[in-house]
Amino acid sequence: MDSRIYPQLQQMFDDARTEGLELFVREGYRTTQDQKNIMNERIQKYQDEGYSRWEAKERAEEYIESLR
């Protein structure tokens, strides 16, 4: 992590805790290929649960958006 953003990041974590949320740092950067792999894995997971390809893609997009 870039030390220049640490104070703001710490404040964000503190504010989240106050609201009952628990944040964590997962990754700082993903390549385009990494992101495609995550999306394809998530689509497959939903298809394995019985969703159609279209429904699985929609759910995967919602999941990816929730990570941002």
Q: How many helices (H) and strands (E) does the chain have?
A: 3, 0
Instruction: Dig out the tokens for 12 from the structure.
Output: 């964000």
Distance CA(54)–CA(36), nearest Å, equals 16
Q: Residue 16's pLDDT is what?
A: 95
Question: Which residue from 32, 10, 13 is spatially nearest to 21, judged by alpha carbons?
Answer: 13
What is the pLDDT at residue 26?
73
Q: What is the pLDDT of residues 8-50, one digit of tens each?
A: 999 999 999 999 998 887 767 788 998 899 999 999 999 999 9
pLDDT at 1: 67
pTM over the 0.75 mark = no
pLDDT score at 66: 80
